[in-house]
A = this chain, B = another copy of it.
Amino acid sequence: MAKKEIILTGDRPTGPLHLGHFVGSLRSRVELQESCDQYVMIADMQALTDHAKEAEKVRASVFQVALDYLAVGIDPAQSTLCIQSCIPALSELTMYYLNLVTWNRLKHNPTVKQEIVQKGFGESVPAGFMTYPISQAADITAFRATLVPVGEDQKPMIEQTNEVVRAFNRTYKCDVLVEAKALIPKIARLPGIDGQAKMSKSLNNAIYLSDGPDKVAKKVKKMYTDPNHLRVEDPGKVEGNPVFSYLDAFGTDLEKIAELKTHYERGGLGDGTVKKYLLEVFLEFLEPIHKRRANFENDEAGVMEILKKGTEKANETASKTLSAVKRAIGVDYFL
CB neighbours of A308 from chain B (8 A):
333-334
The answer to whether the Cβ of A49 comes within 8 Å of any Cβ in the partner chain is: yes
Whether A99 touches B85, Cβ cut-off 8 Å, given contacts A48-B329, A91-B94, A333-B304, is: no
Whether A103 touches B127, Cβ cut-off 8 Å, given contacts A95-B45, A331-B58, is: yes
Q: How far apart are the CA atoms of A12 and B247 in the complex, in Å? A: 62
The answer to whether the Cβ of A251 comes within 8 Å of any Cβ in the partner chain is: no
Q: Name A's B-contacting residues (CB within 8 A).
A: 44-45, 48-50, 52-53, 55-56, 58-59, 62, 83, 85-86, 88-89, 91-92, 94-96, 98-106, 123-131, 134-135, 171-172, 304, 307-308, 311, 326, 329-331, 333-334
B104 touches A124 (CB 8 A): yes
- Judged by DSSP, the binding face of A is helix
Residue among A55, A59, A101, A124 facing the most chain B CB atoms (10 A cut-off): A55
Contact with A326, one of B50, B85, B331 (Cβ below 8 angstroms): B85
Contact with A58, one of B102, B126, B129, B330 (Cβ below 8 angstroms): B330
Whether A52 touches B333, Cβ cut-off 8 Å, given contacts A92-B88, A127-B134, A326-B85, is: no
26 contacts between A and B (CB under 8 A): A44-B331, A45-B96, A48-B99, A52-B171, A55-B171, A55-B329, A55-B330, A56-B330, A58-B330, A88-B88, A88-B89, A88-B91, A91-B92, A95-B128, A98-B127, A99-B128, A100-B128, A102-B123, A102-B125, A103-B129, A103-B130, A104-B124, A105-B127, A127-B131, A304-B333, A311-B334
Whether A62 touches B99, Cβ cut-off 8 Å, given contacts A91-B94, A125-B104, is: no
A62 touches B333 (CB 8 A): yes
Going nearest first, the 8 A-B pairs with the smallest beta carbon separation are A98-B128, A99-B128, A59-B330, A52-B99, A91-B91, A85-B331, A91-B92, A88-B88
